[in-house]
Structure 1
Amino acid sequence: MPPANPRRRHHVKLITAGALLAVLAIGYFVFAGPHASEISSNGHMAHSEATAPREPGQSAFAAVAEIVALLDADPQTDWSKVDIGALRAHLVDMDRLMLDATARATIAGNTATFRVSGSGEVLRAIQAMVPAHGRELDNLVGWQVSSETTSDGALLAITVDNPSEIERIRALGFFGLMTIGSHHQPHHLAMARGTMTEH
């Protein structure tokens, strides 16, 4: 029987070693799971930005968290006046208005009138928020806006100079109109600072 070729024996060893390493690598990733690459040099899990969740999961929570971060970052914040409770109450009212109120529109010429109604806490939210937002809408160029509270909610009347705006108002409806303007965010910050109390 001829002696074994040393070169061949060397190749067999290399192939065997390579196969063993491949099996070990596959086993590691199967048993360690997708987070194996996140283990840091000190043995702890390193949570990367790519895997960290960003969605807070609830809109009021997100709004409060944003305001708290701004207050924390501002060295001029007077913590003796900060009122996060007032901001939360306002956000609850926003939910009640947007989700539980009923609005009916009447269009006559260049005027759109919205009758907004609800009961209980929804009624209170309507009467707090509709007049306040009406004053903001009245600042828009070419719009004359008036509002009044009623026994079951509020009336919001908008008269426009440009007749084509009526189609926009009709399309937006009451709930779309409530989102117009960029005053909400500064209003929330002022409310949390304790420098503004109205809705």
Structure 2
Amino acid sequence: MLEADPATDWTRVDLDALRLHLVDMAEVMLRAEATTRRIDGGLEATATGEGRTLAALRRMVPAHARELDAMPAWQASSEMVPDGVRLTVTSADPEQAAHIRGLGFFGLMASGAHHQAHHLAIARGGHAH
């Protein structure tokens, strides 16, 4: 896409930053531990890790919570805990609450249609989170 776009500003392109973001994604998805708890209207998930995984959780979960919060019918927030991050996602709609619970932490982290645009923005030299 970058090659095909004549408006690409090659002085800003940073594929190394995109790679680092993808490494963060892999750390969260493959190495984090998550415990979940059903709450009224949804789910509370505490994701923990050490070292690089903990750093990735602390970069990614708060940013993704903001994206989830922007989705219709969902409310999302995050808070830091000593060895990780707690993600809370709820809905007043019982069907959406079931959807949230069914996704669990890892499904919620993969939810939303913003990922492709976000990754392209990073490659173009924008901010990762």
With normalisation by structure 2, the TM-score equals 0.95
Distance verdict in 2 for CA 1:197–1:170, change over 3 Å: closer
Q: Work out the CA distance in 2 between the residues paired with 1:197 and 1:138.
A: 18
Correspondent of 1:169 among 92, 100, 109: 100
> Residue 42 of structure 2 contacts residue 101 of structure 2 at CA under 8 Å; is this kept in 1?
no
Partner of 1:179: 110
Q: Work out the CA distance in 1 between the residues paired with 2:101 and 2:76.
A: 15
Any idea what SS the aligned residue of 2:8 has?
Answer: coil
Any idea what SS the aligned residue of 1:170 has?
Answer: helix
Matches within 5 A, 1:59-70: 70=1
Q: Does 1:131 align with 2:62?
A: yes
The gaps in structure 1 that reach 5 residues or longer are: 1-69
Q: Work out the CA distance in 2 between the residues paired with 1:197 and 1:130.
A: 12
How far does the alpha carbon of each residue in 1:98-154 deviate from its partner, in whole angstroms, 9 at most, with x for none?
000011111122141110100000000000000011000001111111111222110
More strand per residue: 1 or 2? 2
Partner of 1:79: 10
Matches within 5 A, 1:99-114: 99-114=30-45
Partner of 2:71: 140
Which structure 1 residue ranges, 4+ long, deviate > 3 Å from structure 2? Answer: none
The gaps in structure 2 that reach 5 residues or longer are: none
Partner of 1:54: none
Q: Does 1:151 align with 2:82?
A: yes
Equivalent position amino acid for 2:97 in 1: I
Partner of 2:48: 117
Q: Work out the CA distance in 1 between the residues paired with 2:39 and 2:28.
A: 25
User: RMSD between aligned alpha carbons?
Assistant: 1.0
